[in-house]
Amino acid sequence: MSLVNMIQQLLAGMGASLAIFVLTLLFSLPLGLIIAFGRMSKSKPIVFVSNIYISIMRGTPLMLQLLVVYFGPYYLFGMRLSSEYRFYATIIGFSINYAAYFAEIYRSGIQSIPIGQYEAAKVLGYTKPQTFWRIIFPQMAKRVLPPVTNEVITLVKDTSLAFVLAYAEMFTIAKQIAAAQTTIVPLFVAGIFYYLFNLVVAVLMEQLEKRLNYYQ
Amino acid sequence: MKLLEISQLKKNYHSLEVLHDISISVNEGEVVAIIGPSGSGKSTLLRCATMLEKVSAGEISYMGKQAVSTDEAGKAVYAENLQLKEIQNYFGLVFQNFNLFPHYSVLKNIVDAPISVQKRNKKEAMQQAKQLLEKMGLEDKGNAYPSQLSGGQQQRVAIARALALNPQILFFDEPTSALDPELTGEILKVIRQLAKERMTMVIVTHEMAFAKEVADRVIFMDGGYIVEQGTPQEVFENPKMDRTKQFLARFSS
């Protein structure tokens, strides 16, 4: 297999990795906010459930969670799922795991906003949703951007865990080529691709941070 | 007409009563200064009147509309949300720490509540905000962000923000305590100007000379009680109570 051919195959796998990455962020970023609300809720049962959820998601391996999401429906309910479920299971597994981490980041961000901001909003007559979306959320978003960037960069590399479900993302393909050709070159090239991917992510996040620096 | 009427207000934190049977009324156009040592309950009283804290018992009404009443068991009952929302419109509050919104420009800080809370016309709200900024001597700061302003400028923006909602009564919670003496003057000048325009105000302050000059009535609080109240002359020059004399002795020199 020529180098060009290998790179072509890896790039195709990179497309799949990118799909996992984008879809996971699309679902986990908002889901994290809902879980953060749950964690800060006034209702004790909701807080309890949220805490258990975060505890399990952070306390067990993501690889195991992916396997549970993929095989769970069959072993628990005897459901026969189509082969497309492989992809859905990957997205669901990543999303529910990352949402737990984002929830804790959001919570720390929300709780770092001074109480005076809430009081000023209340006296000015803002409703609770208005207070959150107009006053608290924009300030929280700025504060949590550095830790969120950390998670996003980790996610780029974590997409390689989809190999446990034999989902054909970049790392799975690299391993297959490496095994067939008995060479580590494809793994090495894949490593370079992950690095370049993250370089782009880091630059984009830095730009976003700069853009939010219009106020102190 | 009585704009604000508070009667027999009590505030407990668990078993500790921090405000005991406070009764105050404020007439239209009146400037009331509340003085007293730290921990005397004057800020708590202001926070109860502006509904940032819940009272334990007593009555509060604005413009004859009851916000809080007391049931037979002696417990405070708040009016329904719709009524409270309406009452919320009657007053504004200026905080010790300004509490401006750091992510909004000065102009946006002032117009956001009129537009998104009071649903007023955007153009009209902008025009009013510009007039208010001019009045505060900040006409060139509309596009600045709060962090780019001095403390005195930030507090003036906070006053403009409160005035933009056209309140009937404006509360000040130690408006100059976070400012150095040079900047304090700017704020006092603005409050003096408002007093001249017959704005109804209740000011919690440590600035005795200012309270004496600007207030129509002075209330001295200590230990959660109103110890004495009267005109500035009565309270500052002929205090009746020993506690008032003792407190004011430190300022007379």
Mean pLDDT of B62-74: 90
CA distances from A214 to A209, B131, B223, B253 (A): 10, 26, 45, 48
Question: End-to-end alpha-carbon separation of chain B, Å?
Answer: 38
Categorize the per-residue pLDDT at B252 as very low, low, confident or very high, splitting at 50, 70 and 90.
low
Residues A184, A185, A186: CA angle, nearest 5 degrees? 95
Cross-chain Cβ contact B102/A135 below 8 Å? no
What is d(CA A68, CA A46) in angstroms, rounded to the nearest whole number? Answer: 24
Partners of residue B143 in chain A, C-beta under 8 Å:
none
Structure confidence at residue A1 (pLDDT)? 65
- Contacts of residue B6, defined as CB under 8 A and 6 or more positions apart, other chains included, come to B22, B23, B24, B25, B49, B58, B59, B60
Mean pLDDT of B170-194: 91
Mean pLDDT of A32-50: 96
User: B241, B113, B94, B99: which is closest to B165 by C-alpha?
Assistant: B113
Partners of residue B103 in chain A, C-beta under 8 Å:
138-139, 142, 215
DSSP string, chain A: --HHHHHHHHHHHHHHHHHHHHHHHHHHHHHHHHHHHHHT-S-HHHHHHHHHHHHHHHHS-HHHHHHHHHHHHHHHH-----TTHHHHHHHHHHHHHHHHHHHHHHHHHHHTS-HHHHHHHHHTT--HHHIIIIIIHHHHHHHHHHHHHHHHHHHHHHGGGGGGGT--SHHHHHHHHHHHHT-SHHHHHHHHHHHHHHHHHHHHHHHHHHHGGG--
Cross-chain Cβ contact A130/B102 below 8 Å? no
Cβ contact B205:B33 at 8 Å: yes
Structure confidence at residue A59 (pLDDT)? 96
How confident is the prediction for chain A on average, in pLDDT? 92
- Sign, CA dihedral B215-B219-B220-B222, equals negative
Cross-chain Cβ contact B117/A119 below 8 Å? no
Closest-CA distance of chain A to residue B167, Å: 10
Strand partners, B226: B221
Closest-CA distance of chain A to residue B102, Å: 7
A146 interfaces chain B, CB cutoff of 8 Å:
no
Residue B32 has pLDDT above 80, yes or no: yes
Categorize the per-residue pLDDT at A122 as very low, low, confident or very high, splitting at 50, 70 and 90.
very high
Residue A83 has pLDDT above 80, yes or no: no
Query: Which of A123, A130, A134 to mutate against chain B (most B CBs within 10 Å)?
Result: A123
pLDDT digits (tens, 9 = 90+) for B122-179: 999 999 999 999 999 999 999 999 999 999 999 999 999 999 999 999 999 999 988 8
A139 interfaces chain B, CB cutoff of 8 Å:
yes
Residue corresponding to tokens 């550095």: A146
Closest-CA distance of chain B to residue A18, Å: 33
Residue B253 has pLDDT above 60, yes or no: no
Closest-CA distance of chain B to residue A207, Å: 18
Residues B250, B252, B253: CA angle, nearest 5 degrees? 90
Cross-chain Cβ contact B165/A142 below 8 Å? no
pLDDT digits (tens, 9 = 90+) for B100-129: 999 999 999 999 999 999 999 999 999 999
Mean pLDDT of B228-233: 94
Cross-chain Cβ contact A214/B145 below 8 Å? yes
Closest-CA distance of chain A to residue B89, Å: 7
> B31 — phi, psi (to 5°)?
-115, 115
Categorize the per-residue pLDDT at A178 as very low, low, confident or very high, splitting at 50, 70 and 90.
confident
Categorize the per-residue pLDDT at B54 as very low, low, confident or very high, splitting at 50, 70 and 90.
very high
- The complex scores an ipTM of 0.93
What is d(CA A191, CA A185) in angstroms, rounded to the nearest whole number? Answer: 10
User: B205, B123, B194, B119: which is closest to B162 by C-alpha?
Assistant: B194
Residue B216 has pLDDT above 80, yes or no: yes
What is d(CA A116, CA B162) in angstroms, rounded to the nearest whole number? Answer: 15
Cross-chain Cβ contact B113/A124 below 8 Å? yes
How confident is the prediction for chain B on average, in pLDDT? 93
Q: Which of B92, B102, B117 faces A216 most closely, judged by CB atoms?
A: B102
Partners of residue B84 in chain A, C-beta under 8 Å:
none
Closest-CA distance of chain B to residue A114, Å: 9
Cross-chain Cβ contact A126/B116 below 8 Å? yes
The residue of chain B nearest to residue A115, with distances taken between CA atoms, is B99
Residues 38-57 of A with CB under 8 A from B: none
Cross-chain Cβ contact A139/B102 below 8 Å? yes
Closest-CA distance of chain A to residue B192, Å: 23
Question: Chains A, B: CB contacts under 8 A, how many?
Answer: 56
Structure confidence at residue A185 (pLDDT)? 86
- Contacts of residue B250, defined as CB under 8 A and 6 or more positions apart, other chains included, come to none
Q: Which of A114, A119, A216 faces B52 most closely, judged by CB atoms?
A: A119
pLDDT digits (tens, 9 = 90+) for A135-167: 999 999 999 999 999 999 999 999 999 888 888
Q: Which of A122, A134, A216 faces B112 most closely, judged by CB atoms?
A: A134
Cβ contact B163:B92 at 8 Å: yes
